[in-house]
Amino acid sequence: MNPSIVDSSPFLYVRVVEEQQKVVKMDSKICSIPQEMMLGTGEQLFDHIAQCLGEFLESQDLKGQTLPLGFTFSFPCEQKEIDKVSHRTIIGGLLITKGNASDYVGLLVSSLGKLVASLGSLVDTLEMLLISLWMPVISLGMLVASAEMLFTRLEMLVVNVRIFEKMISGMYLGEIVRLLLVKMAEDKLLFKGETSEALLTPGQFETKYISEIEEPDSGLENAQKILTALGLNWDPVDACVVRLVCDTISSRSACLCAAALATISNRIRVNRGLDHLKTTVGVDGTVYRKHPNFSEELQAAVRLLAPECDITFLVSEDGSGKGAAMVTAVAQRIVEKYLEPFRLSLEKLKEVSVRLKKDLIRGLGKHSHHRAAVKMLPTFVRATPDGTEKGDYLALDLGGTNFRVLYVRVVEEQQKVVKMDSKICSIPQEMMLGTGEQLFDHIAQCLGEFLESQDLKGQTLPLGFTFSFPCEQKEIDKSILIRWTKGFSCSGVEGQDVVKLLKEAIHRRGDYDIGSVAMVNDTVGTMMSCGYRDQSCEIGMIIGTGTNACYMEEIKNVKRVEGEDGRMCINTEWGGFGDDGSLKDILTEFDEVVDQTSINPGVHTFEKMISGMYLGEIVRLLLVKMAEDKLLFKGETSEALLTPGQFETKYISEIEEPDSGLENAQKILTALGLNWDPVDACVVRLVCDTISSRSARLCAAALATISNRIRVNRGLDHLKTTVGVDGTVYRKHPNFSEELQAAVRLLAPKCDITFLVSEDGSGKGAAMVTAVAQRIGGLMTCLEMLVAF
Ligand code: 0WK
Ligand code: BGC
C-alpha cells in the first residue's frame, strides 16, 4: 500500500512463490486520494485507506485471511519498530492533521502488528546526508536565491522544509519552470512580454510538460502545444527557449541526485574499505521513469562524482509495494527462523492448558503425586482473611529478588490498617550456593539486627515465614524443602524442615526468641495479603525471579489430606510443569541451553520459559545466534554479549518501554560493547517483545487452567474471582500484565478475573496467615481446628 503517490495509492496482493524460482505474482488496484483528503484529517485518510483495502480484499476474496502487510509510507518517519513509525514532517503536498483512527483502522493497525514495513526513513537519511555534505558544490547563493523565490511564490504548505526535494522532485520542477517563464516574460524575453492567466497560476505548468518538451523528436512540437494550451502568444524561438529552461531545471535535478547518490555509494565503498565498489541501485519514481534523458544525465554525473563506484541502475518493475512486501517477507523470514518457535498460537496454549489440567489432578492424587511434575502441595491454609485479624507479627520474606525482614501490626479497631516496618537484607551470591547453616545463621542475624533496630528484642512475637521454594508442608510450622530453585542451592537443606533450621539458627545466637511460626509460600502470602483487601481473592500468583501460583481447592479433591468439606490453599509449584517432558514440543534450542547451563538442569522447565531469572538469558542466546548468523551487529558479538547473565531481564522491560524503548536499547547495546545500527535496535526490541510475550501467554494458559478448575469444582457456569499478583516481571514490564490478561480472557472466557497487585509483598501475607491461624485458635491445635473448619 503506498499513499504517497500524488492523488493515488496502489493496493497490492503479492504472492512470492519460492518453488517457481523467485516468481512474484501480484494483483493490484490503484485508488485515488482526493486533494481535499490530502489536506483533511488523519482519521479521514486512514479510514479511506482502510476502506480501499477492504474493497480490494473483497475483490480478491481475501477477507477471511489475516495476511502480513507491507506498508510503503513515503514520508519521513521515525522508525520505532518494523511496525511502528511516527510521522515527522509533511511532504509532497500531504498535510494531515492528527486524527483518531476509526475502529476498522484500529483493526487494520492491529493486523499490522504482523510485520509492517515502512520505507519512509530512507528519504530522511538522504536529507541529512546532503545537507551536511553537498551544499558547497552548488553555490549557496544560487540555492538560497532560488529557494526563497520558490517559497514565496509557491505559497506552499510548508516552508523551509525539504529544500533539496523542492529542487529535484516532480512535485516542484514544473513550478520552478513556470516561475522562470513568468520572470522571463515579465522581463520581455518571452512571449512578447505577455503572460497568461494560466501561466500566472501556481501549479499550471505540470512537471510532465518538462519531459514532453524535452522529448528528442517531438519536444518542440509538444512545447508549442503546451504553450498554446497555456494561452500564451508564442513564437518558435520562445518554444526553443522554453525547452532550454526545461532542460536546465531537469538537468540540475539530475545532477543534484547524482551528487547525493555518489555520496552514498562512496560511503558504502569506504565503509567496506574498498578501492572499488560494484553495486546496484533500485530506482523508481515518475521523474526518473518518464523524463527522456534524466536517467542518462544522472548516471553520467554519478560516474564523474564517484569514479570508484560501478553502479548498475535497476528500474523497479512493480513499484515499492512489492518492495514493501519483500521487506515484510525478509523480516518475516528472520522472524520465522528465529522467533517463530517462540510464538505460541491460541490453539497451542489451549493444548498446554489441557496438559497442565491433567498434571494438576496428578499432583493432587494420593498415589500419583510423587511422580507428578506439578507438585500441588497442601498448605493447610483453609481460610482467607475476613478483616477481623489483629496483633503484632514478625515476618521473613525469602526467595525473591530481595530478602526482607518485617514487623507487622494488624490494628483491628482501625478497620483494616496494617502497619509495617521492614528492612531489606542482601543474600550474597556465594551464600546462595553455600551451606544451609550459613544461610540460616545469616537470616537469624538479619532478624536479630532488625529486632534491635525496632527495639523488639525483649518480645517473643509470632513469625510468618515466606519461604518461596517448593516445600512439603506437614504442619503450619513444619515444612520440608523438596528442592531449591531459582539461584539457590544451599547444602544440607533439601529434605529438611526449614522452620526447624530457622529456630536452630536463632537458638545458636541465643540473644532473642520468636513465638509461634507459620510457614508459607510467597504465592500464599500474596493471596493472603491481597485477600485482606479483597475477600474474593482466592488465587495467588508470582511472576518474578521464579513463577508459581496457589489457589483454594476443594478439600475433597486433595487426596493426601483428610476431610471432605471446605477448601484448602494448594501451592501448585507450576514452575515444575514440563519437567516430565510434557512441554518438549514448545521448548526451543535456546530454552535447552538455558536449562543445561542453569544450576539445576531438568528442574522447573516451565519456570525457565517464563520467569525473570531466565528471560534475559534467553534473549542473550538469541542475539548471539542472530549475530553469528550475520543478522545483527554486522555479524560481530562482544565479550559482554558472549557472557552468560550479561543481558539482564530488566533490559527487556526497558527496551520494550513504549516511548523510550529504542533509545534504551541503543544505550544497552552500547553498554554491551556492540556495534549496532538502528535496525539492530528494532530487531532486538522485537526479540525482547517475542520472549516476554511468550512468557505472558504461558502464564495466561496456566492461570486460565486454575480458574477454570475452580469454576468447574464449584459447578459454576461463570466464575468471578480475584488473583493476587506479585513479582518484578509482572510489576515492571510495560505490557506484560496487559498481554497476560488479554490471553486469559481468551483462554478462560467463563471466568471474570480481577488482578490485584500486592501492595506490601507477601511478608504481610505471612503475618496474615499467622493472624488467621491465631484467629481460629492456638497454633498447635490449629491443624485439628483447621480440619474441623
Ligand atoms: C515480592 C514478595 C516476595 C516474592 C517476590 C517475587 O514479597 O515474597 O517472592 O515478590 O518477586 P521477585 O522479587 O522474585 O521478582
Ligand atoms: C518456587 C516457588 C515460588 C516461585 C516464585 C519458584 O521457583 O519454586 O515456590 O513460589 O519461585 O517465587
* Residue 785: closest CA among 559, 561, 777: 777
String of b and e for 65-102 (b: at least 16 CB within 10 Å)? eeebbbbbbbbbbebbbbbbbeeeebbbbbebeeeebe
Q: Is 542 in the pocket of ligand 2 (CB under 6 A)?
A: yes
**Which pLDDT value is given to residue 10?**
65
If you measure from the C-alpha of residue 341 to the centroid of ligand 1, how many angstroms do you get, rounded to a whole number? 29
Of the listed ranges 22-26, 463-467, 561-565, 587-591, the least confidently predicted one is 22-26
Single out the catalytic residue among 397, 522, 591, 595. 522
Instruction: Count other C-beta atoms under 10 Å from residue 449's C-beta.
Output: 13
- DSSP code of residue 749: T
Supply the pLDDT for residue 334: 64
Q: Helix %, strand %, coil % for the chain, to 5?
A: 50, 15, 35
pLDDT (0 to 100) of residue 74: 81
**What percent of the chain stands above pLDDT 70?**
81
The pLDDT value given to residue 94? 43
Name which residue leads in pLDDT, 477 or 762.
477
**Which residue minimizes the CA distance to atom 7 of ligand 2?**
546
Strand partners, 58: none
Does the C-beta of 613 come closer than 6 Å to ligand 2? Answer: no
Mean pLDDT, residues 438-447: 95
- Residue located nearest, by CA, to atom 12 of ligand 2: 546
Query: Which of the following is catalytic: 404, 620, 685, 709?
Result: 404
Q: Which of 64-68, 269-273, 403-407, 506-510 has the lowest average pLDDT?
A: 64-68
* CA 556 to ligand 2 center in whole angstroms: 25
361 C-alpha to ligand 2 centroid (Å): 20
The mean pLDDT of 360-371, rounded to a whole number, is 94
Q: Match 490449629 to its residue by C-alpha cell.
A: 782
What integer is the mean pLDDT of 498-524? 94
Mean pLDDT value across the chain: 84
Answer yes or no: is pLDDT of 99 > 90. no
Q: In this model, does residue 7 exceed pLDDT 80?
A: no
Q: Are 409 and 396 in contact (CB under 8 A)?
A: no
**Do residues 729 and 763 lie in contact, with contact meaning Cβ atoms separated by under 8 Å?**
no
Per the model's pLDDT, the better-predicted residue between 110 and 167 turns out to be: 167
Higher pLDDT, residue 401 or 193: 193
| Confidence category of residue 516, pLDDT binned at 50, 70, 90 | confident
Ligand 1 centroid – CA 478 distance (Å)? 22
For residues 598-606, give the mean pLDDT.
95
Confidence of residue 38 (pLDDT cuts 50, 70, 90): confident
**Residue 392 pLDDT exceeds 80:** yes
For residue 571, the ligand closest to its alpha carbon is 2
> Which residue is associated with the grid cell 514532453?
212
Give residue 413's pLDDT: 53
How many Å is the maximal CA-CA distance in the chain? Answer: 116
Residue 139 annotated to the active site: no
Q: Of all protein residues, whose CA lies closest to atom 6 belonging to ligand 2?
A: 546
Specify whether 272 is catalytic: no
Q: What is the residue with the minimal CA distance to atom 2 of ligand 2? A: 469
Q: Under a CB-based contact definition with an 8 Å cutoff, are residues 787 and 754 in contact? A: no
Is pLDDT at 256 greater than 70 in this prediction? yes
pLDDT category, 786, cuts 50, 70, 90? Answer: very low
CA distance 249 to 210: 9
- What's the DSSP call for residue 102? P
Angstrom CA distances, 544 to 306, 469, 784, stand at 57, 13, 34
Question: Which residue of 404, 522, 610 sits with most ligand 1 atoms within 8 Å of its CB, as the best mutation to test the pocket?
Answer: 522
pLDDT band for position 123 (cuts 50, 70, 90)? very low
542 lines ligand 1 (CB under 6 A): yes
Q: Say what angle helices 219-229 and 236-271 make with each other, to 10 degrees.
A: 110
The 10 Å Cβ neighbour count of residue 145 is 11
353 lines ligand 1 (CB under 6 A): no
- Read off the pLDDT of each residue in 178-184 and give the average, rounded to a whole number: 96
Report how far ligand 1's centroid is from the alpha carbon of 346 (Å).
Answer: 29
Cα distances from 520 to residues 85, 471, 595, in angstroms, run 48, 9, 27
Radius of gyration of the chain (CA): 35
* Shortest-distance Cα residue to atom 4 of ligand 1: 400
Active-site choice (4, 9, 320, 468): 468
Specify the higher pLDDT residue, 344 or 412.
344
Q: Average of pLDDT values for 3-24?
A: 58
Q: Which of 468, 480, 730 to mutate to test the pocket of ligand 2 (most atoms within 8 A of CB)?
A: 468
What confidence category does residue 395 fall into, taking pLDDT thresholds of 50, 70 and 90?
very high
Is the CB of 546 within 6 Å of ligand 2?
yes
Residue-wise pLDDT for 644-676, tens only, equals: 999 999 999 999 998 889 899 999 999 999 998
pLDDT band at 385 (very low <50, low <70, confident <90, very high): low
Question: How sure is the predictor about 348, in pLDDT bands with cuts at 50, 70 and 90?
Answer: very high
Residue 35 confidence class, pLDDT cut points 50, 70, 90: confident
The response to whether residue 611 sits with its C-beta less than 6 Å from ligand 1 reads no
The verdict on whether 522 is a catalytic residue reads yes
Q: Which of 526, 528, 610 to mutate to test the pocket of ligand 1 (most atoms within 8 A of CB)?
A: 526
Residues 6 or more apart from 597 whose CB is under 8 A from it? 617, 644
Judging by beta carbons within 10 Å of its beta carbon (0-12, 13-18, 19+), is residue 177 exposed, middle or buried?
A: buried
In the predicted model, what is the mean pLDDT of residues 456-478?
Answer: 91
Query: Is ligand 1 within 6 A of the CB of residue 607?
Result: no
Q: Which protein residue has the closest C-alpha to ligand 2 atom 8?
A: 469
Listed in order, strand segments (DSSP E) in 653-707 are none
Question: What pLDDT shows up at residue 347?
Answer: 96
C-alpha cell of residue 260: 547525493
Burial of residue 283 (CB within 10 Å: 0-12, 13-18, 19+) is middle
